[in-house]
Amino acid sequence: MTAPLPGTGEEEVFAPPANPLEPLRGQARAFGAVAVGGAIGAIGRWAVGLAIPTPPGSFPWATFGINVLGCFLIGVVVVAVTELTDPHPLARPFLATGILGGFTTFSTYSVDAQHLVAAHRIGSAFGYLGLTLVAAVIAAWAGLEVTRLVYRRRIAARRTAR
């Protein structure tokens, strides 16, 4: 039984598709873009982890930096592909969901926090969890705003050059 739609007195009707995979039809190129981008991003994350290893019980600076940088870049990409350009339809799935989704990591973030707890560094674990959350949100916002600011300045410079 479903609840009536507000103000209509009618019943909300939900009819699932006969084939549950129907909404996915025609999405093979997007799936491919996400998969290839995800592989590229994950390899990049892995390489940073090799270059900046985290000793046992230490603050995971590499993962923290990856997640903050990735969130900033997601903000840049979102503005670039939704507000500034007429992008290829696969640009956002490839760049944001694929590359940057593969580069950033919630799983390693969680495991790193667990490693801090296992090393009896409870305060560091909670600090890491909270700091990452706050820094990532601020970084995503900054990516959006910096990209918009750069774009506005470029437009203004072009207008004055004419």
Res 103 pLDDT > 60: yes
Structure token digits, residue 25? 């039809």
Decide if 29 is inside a domain: no
Q: Is 104 annotated as a binding residue?
A: yes
Is 82 marked as a binding-site residue?
no
pLDDT > 90 fraction of the chain, expressed in percent and rounded: 72
**98 is a domain residue:** yes
What pLDDT score was predicted for residue 6?
A: 60
Is the entire prediction scored with pTM above 0.85? no
- Give, in order, the Cα–Cα distances in Å from 29 to each of 24, 26, 40, 74, 89: 11, 8, 16, 21, 10
What's the domain count of the chain? Answer: 1
Query: Bigger pLDDT: 162 or 69?
Result: 69
Residues of the domain holding 111: 59-161
Residue 41 clears pLDDT 60, i.e. is over it: yes
Is residue 3 scored above 60 in pLDDT? no
Q: Is residue 115 part of a domain?
A: yes
